[in-house]
Amino acid sequence: MPSKPLRVLAVDPGLTRCGMAVVDVAPNRQATLVDVRVVGTPNTASIGERLATIDEAIADFFESHRPDHLAVERMFAQNNTPTVVGTAQASGVVIAAAGRRNIPVALLTPSEVKAAVTGNGSADKNQVTAMVTRVLGLDSPPKPADAADAMALAIAHAWRGGLHGRGLDTGKLTSPARPSKFPGVTAKNSRPTTPAQRAWLEAERRAR
């Protein structure tokens, strides 16, 4: 286990609003907010201008904070196809920026983040924001939602295995540890026993 905190740069991608947060997570899972920013671009700007703005912002975060890992929300195609396409474009920019710096990348689904942070893969935004506020010891809930989502991504990535170097650069979702290594689980009882553990694995199964 590392002796120093893992520094995670997490991005909630989007063209109109792109949330970026840097969080330090200690080996004992204590998390501290380092920086947060929501980058916004008007929909009247060209796609090149919008992506360039995101590229400049993520480059500044990489150079200013020297993160160990990058965590990005993984999106799924839904009814709003233009939104999904724009989100994918923003994701590509930040992932490429990490690749140029040899920074490991992790992709997390919204359900996985919710399960990691709240113990419930179906938690709503208010519940996630409340837990983020509590975990980071913030004086007030972070706003806008894109900021809170980015913070939750960073926390979830570290807690799901980033502290141990697992679940990176595979494009696949992996548990934070094998079931037999979950706290309170023995070889005779290899199934997760806590609600948070069960929610976590259920979120992964739905995302595959």
Catalytic residues: 12, 73, 146
Helix or strand holding residue 25 (H, E)? strand 17-25
- Strand, helix or coil for residue 78: coil
Cα distance between residue 27 and residue 198, in whole Å: 23
Helix, strand or coil, per DSSP, at residue 43: coil
Residue position matching structure tokens 């506020």: 133
Annotated binding site: 12, 73, 146
User: What residue numbers does the annotated binding site for Mg(2+) cover?
Assistant: 12, 73, 146
The answer to whether 91 touches 174, Cβ cutoff 8 Å, is no
Contact 6, 25 (CB under 8 A): yes
Instruction: Name the token pair of 132.
Output: 């983020």
**110: how many CB neighbours lie within 10 A of its CB?**
22
- Per DSSP, the chain holds a count of helices (H) and strands (E) of 6, 5
Closest CA to 91 of 79, 107, 103: 107
The full DSSP string for 100-138 is HTT--EEEE-HHHHHHHHHS-TT--HHHHHHHHHHHHT-
